[in-house]
Amino acid sequence: MKARIAVLPGDGIGPEVIAEGVRCLRVLAERGGHDLTLIERPFGGAAIDLTGEPLPPETLTTCQSADAVLLGAIGGPKWSAPEAKVRPEQGLLELRRALGVYANLRPVKVHPALLGASTLKPEVLTGVDLLFVRELTGGIYFGEKRRDATAASDLCTYTVTEIERIVRVAAHLAQQRRGKLVSIDKSNVLETSRLWREVATRIVRSEFPQVSLEHMLVDAAAMHLIRRPRDFDVLVTENMFGDILTDEASMLAGSLGLLPSASLGEGRRGLYEPIHGSAPDIAGQGIANPYGTVLSVALLLRHSLGLTAEAEALEQAVSAAIDAGALTPDLAPSGPAVSTRAAGEAVLDRLTR
C-alpha cells in the first residue's frame, strides 16, 4: 500500500495526541511494508498565527491531494473573542466543505474495564455499542448568517439530496450491524425536520426494507441515550443535533478523550479526528488522552486505506492497553494515571509483541 496522509496537529493538546497517533501509524506501516508519506501542515489557530488564515492554501492543497487527513484539535481562548473576524472553526467548516466529507461516523463502545469511568450505573452501560452518523456539511452551521446591532440569525437549510445520501450511508451501516436505525429530528417544530423524516422514511422503506427504522425527536433521543443506551444500534441525524448528541454519548464511554471519528465523502479520502476539543487548560502538561486519536488512525486505516487487519490490530492494542490499566487522568481521576506518552507506549508495546 502506498498513500499520502496530511497531518494537521492543530492547537492545544492536538500536537500531543497526534504525535501518538503518528507513532502508531508509522509502526504499522513498517510492519506491513506500506509506503506512507506523512505531510504535516498548520491548521486552525496555529495557522492563523502563522498566516492570518485558519486554512492556508498550502494546507488545503495538501489535504485535497492526500488519501486521508489526520487532525488533532483546533481552537482556544486566544482566537475565540466574540469580535474576532477570523476563527479556527471557520477553517474546519471550510475543510469539510472542500473535501466533500458529508458523513461523520462516531462509534461509541463501552469498554468493560471502564464501566466505572462513567457517572452512569454499570448495568446501564454494559453492552453499549452504537454508531452515530452525523450529516456534516449542511444545516445551520453552513447556512446564511446575519447580525446587526439588535438581532442575529442563522439559516438552517437541507435539500432532499443531502438527506438521501446521509440516510443511505446510515442504513447501509445498519445492514452491516444489527439492522436497527434511529433517525433523529425535531419534526414537531422544524420544517427541515419534517422533510428529513419524510425522506428518511422513503429511502429506508424502498431501498433497505430489511432495516428497522424508528423516528425519534431529538429531546427524547437525548433522554434515551442516558436511560437505555444499549437499545441503540445506528443513529442518523442532522449537523447540529449530531454535534450535541455525540458529545453526550461520549460520556457513556467515560471520556471525550476515548472517541474517534471518521468524516467520509464519495471517494476513499476521509478526514479523521478525535471528537474532543483542543483542551487548552491541559495543553503542554502531557496528560491528554491519546486513545481517541489512535482509534481515529484505526478508522483511517480501515476506510481510506483498506487496511482492515491493521485497523483491527490497532483497536485491539488500545483495548489491551486499557485492560492493563494504562489510563490517563480523565479515565482515572483518583489515580494512578499515566501520561499521554505512556498511554501511547502501552499501545505500541502491544502492537510490537
pLDDT of residue 261: 96
Answer yes or no: do 53 and 83 share one domain: yes
| Whether 289 contacts 321, CB under 8 Å | no
Is 286 domain-assigned? yes
- Residue 335 — pLDDT band, cuts 50, 70, 90? confident
Would you say residue 83 has pLDDT above 90?
no
- Same domain (yes/no): 131, 29: no
333 and 313 part of one domain? yes
Pair 291, 117: CB distance under 8 Å: no
Confidence of residue 84 (pLDDT cuts 50, 70, 90): confident
Torsion angle (degrees, nearest 10) of CA 334, 335, 340, 343: -120
Q: Are residues 297 and 353 in the same domain?
A: yes
| Residues 44 and 86 occupy one common structural domain | yes
Asked if residue 233 belongs to a domain, the reply is yes
Per-residue pLDDT band at 327 (split at 50, 70, 90): very high
Are the C-beta atoms of 62 and 8 separated by less than 8 Å? no
Would residue 203 count as lying in a domain? yes
Residues 179 and 215 occupy one common structural domain:
yes
Mean pLDDT confidence for 45-70: 98
Q: Is residue 109 part of a domain?
A: no
158 pLDDT higher than 90: yes
Given 223, 253, 283, which residue is the final one in a domain?
253
Instruction: Verify that 123 and 247 share a domain, yes or no.
Output: yes
Give Cα separations from 77 to 11, 81, 83, 338 (angstroms). 11, 7, 12, 27
Sheet strands side by side (includes 129-135): 35-40, 2-10, 68-73, 270-272, 262-264, 103-109, 129-135, 234-237, 180-185, 212-217
Give the pLDDT of residue 96. 94
pLDDT band, very low/low/confident/very high, at 236 (cuts 50, 70, 90): very high
User: What is the pLDDT confidence band of residue 228, given thresholds at 50, 70 and 90?
Assistant: very high
Q: Are residues 5 and 43 in the same domain?
A: yes
Q: What percent of the chain has pLDDT over 90?
A: 93
The burial class, CB within 10 Å (0-12 / 13-18 / 19+), for 127 is exposed
Which pLDDT tens digit goes with each residue over 105-132? 999 999 999 998 888 999 999 999 999 9
Q: What is the largest CA-CA distance in the chain?
A: 63
Strands 103-109 vs 262-264: parallel, antiparallel or unpaired: antiparallel
In a domain, 50, yes or no: yes
Query: What is the model's pLDDT at position 75?
Result: 96
Quote the number of domains for the chain: 2
CATH number at residue 203: 3.40.718.10
* 91 is a domain residue: yes
pLDDT band per the 50, 70, 90 thresholds, residue 337 = very high
d(CA 261, CA 257): 11
Could you list the residue range(s) of the whole structural domain that residue 185 is in? Answer: 118-253
- The three-point CA angle 177-182-188 to 5° equals 170
Single out the residue in 253, 280, 303 at which a domain terminates: 253
Assigned domain for 348 exists = yes
Mean pLDDT over all residues of the chain? 96
Asked whether residue 69 falls in the same domain as residue 151, the answer is: no
The answer on 198 and 168 residing in a single domain is yes
Residues 38, 125 within the same domain: no
Amino acid letter, residue 12 = G
Report the pLDDT averaged over residues 56-60.
98
Going by pLDDT thresholds of 50, 70 and 90, the confidence category of residue 215 is: very high
Find all residues with CB under 8 Å of 197, minimum gap 6, and list them: 183, 185, 187, 215
CA gap 74, 174 in Å, rounded = 31
What does the pLDDT average to over 51-66?
A: 98
Catalytic residues: 141, 186, 219, 243, 247
Q: Are residues 308 and 283 part of one domain?
A: yes
Threshold 0.75, pTM exceeds: yes
Model confidence band, residue 258 (pLDDT cutoffs 50, 70, 90)? very high
What's the pLDDT at 352? 85
Question: Which whole-number Å values give the CA distances from 264 to 22, 106, 197, 249, 267, in the listed order?
Answer: 20, 11, 23, 21, 8
CA distance linking residue 160 with residue 106, whole number of Å: 23
Q: Is residue 307 part of a domain?
A: yes
Answer with the one of 253, 276, 308 that is the final residue of a domain: 253
Supply 74's cell numbers. 483546533
> Residue 92 above 90 pLDDT?
yes
